[in-house]
Amino acid sequence: MTFTFVLAEKASYSVTVLCSALDVSRSGFYAWCTRPSSAHAEQDKKLALEVATLHEQSRRTYGSPRIFRDLRAKGIRTSEKRVARVMRSAGIAAKRRR
């Protein structure tokens, strides 16, 4: 979270100033920039695409429990909590009834 802030603000301020203000190391920031994303993050990206597709097919009415059931029916192994987290981070939410 702090490194993303430093990355966003490094055009306005120096990395040294930002890192010292946030009490993080400069070398840690540069290591974070060059580090590849984790396997879990890559799986979350693929899952987010699958969730978005199923959500669109349901006319944006399905929430995480139904999306989870559809994923299991397609043979994708995951948990309902992970589906809910991916939906929340992607900004996907079900339409509510009136």
Residue 62 sits in the same domain as residue 81: yes
Q: Count structural domains, the chain.
A: 2
Long-range contacts made by residues 17-22, C-beta under 8 angstroms, separation at least 24? none
Residue 8 sits in the same domain as residue 50: no
The answer to whether 6 touches 22, Cβ cutoff 8 Å, is yes
pTM confidence score: 0.75
Residue whose structure tokens are 């993050």: 41
Domain hosting 52: range is 39-90
User: pLDDT by residue (tens digit) across 32-81?
Assistant: 999 999 999 999 999 999 999 999 999 999 999 999 999 999 999 999 99
The answer to whether 64 touches 80, Cβ cutoff 8 Å, is yes
Q: Which amino acid is at 39?
A: A
pLDDT for 96 equals 86
